[in-house]
Amino acid sequence: MMRCLLMLLASTILMAGCTPKPPPIVETPPADAAKTTLQRAADDGTVDSDVLALKDYFEELKKTDPAKAEPLLQDLEVMIQAGNEPSGEGSARVMQKAKEMLQKL
């Protein structure tokens, strides 16, 4: 009886080390995420939290490529303002600005 218990305990301990590792978390590069977000805004004309988060990405980009980041930050502000407009014109302006920004990325 004791021998069975020991074997059961030993096999349980050994099997605990055999569990598969979880798959690695694959993060989307920030530039790809920014392009995806802008493409979504260009398609539907809405400014959501992902669009607002682009400011952080462009601020980081400013450290390495200020010539590229500055115009994008300015365009982002225009796009956010357009997204706050109540009329349908705002959506059209968001779509247009997002397309322009995609070209600059």
The tens digit of pLDDT for each residue in 1-40 reads 667 666 666 666 666 556 667 778 877 677 888 899 999 9
Answer whether 0.75 is exceeded by the pTM.
no
**CA triple 93-97-102, angle to 5 deg:** 150
The tens digit of pLDDT for each residue in 32-89 reads 888 999 999 999 988 888 888 899 989 988 888 899 999 999 999 999 998 888 777 8
14's tokens: 């050994």
Output the pLDDT for position 12: 66
Alpha-carbon 20 to chain mean position: 28
Instruction: Report the amino acid identity of residue 72.
Output: L
